[in-house]
Amino acid sequence: MKHLRRTLATLLVLAAGSTATLAGKSAAQQAIQDGYAAAARAADPAFKGFSAERGKAFFHAKHGGGKPETPSCTTCHTSDPTAAGKSRAGKTIAPMAASRSPERFSDQKQVEKWFRRNCSDVLGRACTASEKGDVLAYLLSL
Amino acid sequence: MQRIIRQFPRIGAAAVLSFAVVATGARADGLSVGPVKDPTVAKECSACHMLYPAGLLPARSWSRLMNDLGDHFGDNAELDPETAEQIRAYLTANAADTQRRGTKLLRNLPSGTVPLRITELPYIAAKHAKRGRVAPATLKRRGAKSPADCKACHRGAEQGQFDDD
């Protein structure tokens, strides 16, 4: 029994480690990415896949059109996605990088909820599937 | 019948005990409302700010807040309709005007007004007007970003305990 427990613990550690690696997206994270890919392809037949580089630029850019208090993702999440951020009300936000917060980007409803809210506040419009997928690609790559 | 008689002392003890609790609550200067017990409400309503107990605002206020999540004190806090309805139902069912303990909180609040901030309640405003309790210097010393951060001073705020003033 003790042995079994140790084996299980080792497996858990290995599993946690694998989600932290670049290629180690969980099935749930992959499914959400796939959903955005399908939507991006539907919107633009020339869509060729997501880009962590584009996502990085988007995440760090100063956007216009939203509220003056929140011009960028980095306003709350800081310019280091592996560090904790802070909400405008002062609450700590867990790091956005999947390597630091492995539970992130696993629940479609949660992901959509935050894109809906934050794109509205930062850009003054909804984000496109392509933008969402790029940002996820970036945050999953860190 | 004998069973009922045997139960009596216990019922009596419980009655005395609850009376004692009520009496203590009435004497204390502070305020005690229940904490949020619904996990969905607790999760969604504490993602950006402290978790405000439902007993801190009347039902009409919670209803208005839940109607206006697209502009929630300047931020977009929209939810999917099912989750929003679940949260609205909990908040209005456990609001200040549904609790006996909440009546003190709503003292002097005109029935036609719909306060959106707890600090707008006359009872709360009067309490905090004393001795610069929410003066900028006090807030800064306590590490509060704004008067909305009750727990900077009231450590038990999220548990509905405000008897530390």
Q: Which residues contact A63 (CB under 8 A, 6 or more apart)?
A: A71, A72, A122, A123
Residue A110 touches chain B, beta carbons under 8 Å: no
Counting residues of chain A whose pLDDT is more than 90, the rounded percentage is 81
Query: Which residues in A lie closer than 8 A to residue B79 (C-beta atoms)?
Result: 113
Q: What angle do CA A111, B46, A33 make, to 5 degrees?
A: 10
Name the H helices within chain B.
2-27, 39-44, 59-67, 81-93, 122-129, 136-142
B107: tokens are 């003292």
Identity of the residue numbered B90: Y
Confidence at B164, pLDDT banded by 50, 70, 90: low
DSSP state of B103: T
The Cα–Cα gap between A66 and B109 comes to: 36
- A90/B47 touch (CB, cutoff 8 Å), yes or no: no
Residue A109 touches chain B, beta carbons under 8 Å: yes
For B106-138, the pLDDT digits (tens) are: 999 999 999 999 999 999 999 898 877 888 888
Query: Which residues in B lie closer than 8 A to residue A91 (C-beta atoms)?
Result: 46-50
DSSP state of B75: B
Size of interface A-B (CB pairs under 8 A): 41
For A98-127, the pLDDT digits (tens) are: 999 999 999 999 999 999 999 999 999 999
Nearest in space to B96 (alpha carbons), one of B27, B2, B31: B31
Q: Give the residue from B76, B79, B140, B142 with the most A CB atoms within 10 Å of its CB, the best one to mutate.
A: B76
For B19-53, the pLDDT digits (tens) are: 444 444 444 567 889 899 999 999 999 999 999 99
C-alpha radius of gyration, chain B, whole number: 19
Name the H helices within chain A.
2-20, 27-43, 52-60, 74-77, 108-123, 129-141
What's chain B's length in residues?
165
- The answer to whether A63 and A131 have CB atoms below 8 angstroms apart is no
Identity of the residue numbered B14: A
The Cα–Cα gap between B51 and B90 comes to: 14
For B65-97, the pLDDT digits (tens) are: 999 999 999 999 999 999 999 999 999 999 999
Q: Do β-strands B161-162 and B31-32 pair in parallel, antiparallel, or remain unpaired?
A: antiparallel
pLDDT computed for residue B131 by the predictor: 74
ipTM of this complex: 0.79
What's chain A's length in residues?
142
Choose among A67, A89, A109: nearest Cβ to B48: A89
SS3 B96: helix
- The answer to whether A73 and A60 have CB atoms below 8 angstroms apart is yes
Query: Which residues in B lie closer than 8 A to residue A109 (C-beta atoms)?
Result: 80
Q: Which residues contact A31 (CB under 8 A, 6 or more apart)?
A: A108
Tell me how far the alpha carbon of residue B126 is from its chain's centroid.
17
User: CA-nearest residue of chain A to B146?
Assistant: A89
SS3 B100: helix
> At residue B3, does pLDDT exceed 60?
no
Confidence at A64, pLDDT banded by 50, 70, 90: confident
For A24-49, the pLDDT digits (tens) are: 789 999 999 999 999 999 999 999 99
| Closest-CA distance of chain B to residue A139, Å | 20
Looking at mean pLDDT, say which of A10-14, A19-23, B31-35, B115-119 comes out highest: B115-119
Choose among B49, B70, B74: nearest Cβ to A91: B49
Counting residues of chain B whose pLDDT is more than 70, the rounded percentage is 80
The Cα–Cα gap between B119 and B56 comes to: 10
